[in-house]
């Protein structure tokens, strides 16, 4: 059973199904980052406050009733202002802007043709993906928090496993 919610954690406690194999996706953190466009320090403060709140732990403990709980994420995020690889070559910047805007990936109909050194884009599964923590100047500025590119921050997502109660 898949259950997607975007209510305060404490409000979600009563609606959790009793089945043993339940997948719950809560949009709380994604909403902070993508919908509300919070800055990194605001996200850190909100996350720290939320995971210390009784409502969050009531939700977690309800999910642990008679089943083990694994808390994880679907991907990592990175603070783009800390990216160490800012592109400076005007030709590279223009191609990245033209292809991606300020995004990290884009649906593609054909393989990436540019031969920049070092390679900065890979084509896979009908998508172009920016490799590593690269950024480039774009109109309106680069997002403060974004996917980590094809990097360890994007593909290695931590998790915690809690035993049943």
- The reply to whether 91 and 144 lie within a common domain is yes
Confidence tier at 132 by pLDDT (50, 70, 90): confident
The answer as to whether 164 is a domain residue is no
- The reply to whether 104 and 131 lie within a common domain is yes
Confidence tier at 73 by pLDDT (50, 70, 90): confident
* Mean of all residue pLDDT scores within the chain: 84
- The reply to whether 103 and 141 lie within a common domain is yes
- The reply to whether 55 and 83 lie within a common domain is no
Distant-in-sequence, close-in-space partners of 53: CB < 8 Å, separation ≥ 6: 9
- The reply to whether 50 and 98 lie within a common domain is no
Confidence tier at 60 by pLDDT (50, 70, 90): very high
What is the dihedral angle through the alpha carbons of 107, 108, 111, 116, rounded to the nearest 10 degrees? -70
The answer as to whether 118 is a domain residue is yes
The count of structural domains within the chain is: 2
Last residue of a domain, one of 15, 44, 67: 67
Domain that holds residue 10: 2-67
How far is Cα 22 from Cα 18, in angstroms, rounded to an integer? 8
Confidence tier at 152 by pLDDT (50, 70, 90): low
Burial 45-72 (b: 16+ CB within 10 A, else e): eeeeeeeeeeebeebbebbeeebebeee
Position 67 scores a pLDDT of: 92
Tell the burial category of 1 from Cβ atoms under 10 Å away from its Cβ (0-12, 13-18, 19+).
exposed
The answer as to whether 74 is a domain residue is no
- pTM of the full predicted structure? 0.64
Position 149 scores a pLDDT of: 58
> Does residue 36 surpass a pLDDT of 80?
no
Highest mean pLDDT of the ranges 92-96, 132-136, 141-145: 92-96
Position 124 scores a pLDDT of: 85
How far is Cα 48 from Cα 164, in angstroms, rounded to an integer? 24
How far is Cα 88 from Cα 126, in angstroms, rounded to an integer? 27
């Amino acid at each position: 059973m898949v259950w997607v919610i975007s209510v305060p954690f404490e409000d979600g406690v009563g609606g959790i199904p009793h089945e043993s194999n339940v997948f719950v996706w809560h949009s709380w953190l994604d909403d902070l980052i993508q919908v509300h466009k919070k800055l990194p320090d605001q996200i850190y403060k909100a996350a720290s406050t939320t995971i210390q709140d009784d409502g969050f732990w009531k939700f977690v403990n309800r999910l642990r009733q008679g089943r083990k709980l694994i808390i994880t994420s679907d991907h990592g995020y990175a603070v783009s202002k800390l990216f160490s690889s800012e592109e400076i070559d005007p030709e590279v910047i223009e191609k990245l802007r033209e292809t991606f805007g300020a995004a990290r990936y884009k649906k593609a109909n054909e393989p990436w043709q540019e031969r920049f050194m070092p390679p900065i884009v890979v084509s896979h599964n009908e998508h172009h993906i920016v490799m590593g923590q690269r950024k480039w100047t774009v109109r309106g500025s680069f997002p403060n928090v974004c996917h980590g590119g094809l990097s360890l921050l994007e593909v290695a997502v931590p998790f915690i496993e809690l035993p049943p109660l």
